[in-house]
């Protein structure tokens, strides 16, 4: 896979590798790379994402963003508009318990974006977002 930007690497703790494999590989459709009895590499939308056996992080802190209570610790990906909508429908059909249901944030303003927040089986908060106009990604 060729990337227009360098892929990032992120490793997060999970308490169950089988659940992580089902969630990231099965539900989110992230291809699995190398693995061991302690970790699994995933292609997380073009980025190297690793789940390591460990104590999951907890995050009691939240920040208000456009009327939503956003977990201050979260990670995710920015998808193209159509892929975001396909994934959001898949997650809705799978009865995912959203922290913030799929929606359009900052509607009609600079940085307008589609966003959704949910947790993996270990409780890690994930945000998947998209911009109809990718030039708005870093707009002020």
Query: Could you give the CA distance from residue 113 to residue 62 in angstroms, rounded to a whole number?
Result: 20
132 and 106 in a single domain? The answer is yes
Q: pLDDT tens digits, residue range 15-61?
A: 999 999 999 999 999 999 999 999 999 999 999 999 999 998 776 68
Q: Is 19 helix (H, G, I), strand (E, B) or coil?
A: helix
Backbone angles phi, psi at 70, to 5 degrees: -90, 130
102 with 83, same domain?
Answer: yes
Q: Does 21 lie in the same domain as 77?
A: no
Q: Are 32 and 40 in contact (CB under 8 A)?
A: yes
pLDDT band at 113; cut points 50, 70, 90: very high
CA angle 52, 15, 8 (to 5 degrees): 30
CATH classification at residue 28: 3.30.720.120
Residue 80 makes CB contacts below 8 A (sequence gap 6+) with 130
CB atoms within 10 A of CB 34: 8
27 domain residue, yes or no:
yes
pLDDT of residue 12: 95
Model pLDDT, residue 1: 40
pLDDT digits (tens, 9 = 90+) for 72-98: 889 999 999 999 999 999 999 999 999
In a domain, 35, yes or no: yes
Same domain, 128 and 68: yes
């Amino acid at each position: 896979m060729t990337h227009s930007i360098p892929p990032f690497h992120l490793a997060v703790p999970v308490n169950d590798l089988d659940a992580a494999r089902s969630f990231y590989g099965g539900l989110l459709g992230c291809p699995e790379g190398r693995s061991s009895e302690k970790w699994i590499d995933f292609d997380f939308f073009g980025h190297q994402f690793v789940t390591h056996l460990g104590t999951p992080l907890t995050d009691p802190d939240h920040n208000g963003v456009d009327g939503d209570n956003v977990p201050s610790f979260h990670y995710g990906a920015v998808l193209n508009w159509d892929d975001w909508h396909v994934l959001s429908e898949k997650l809705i059909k799978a009865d995912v318990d959203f922290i913030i249901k799929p929606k359009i944030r900052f509607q009609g303003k600079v940085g307008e974006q589609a966003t959704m927040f949910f947790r993996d089986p270990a409780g890690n908060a994930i945000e998947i977002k998209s911009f109809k106009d990718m030039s708005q990604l870093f707009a002020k």
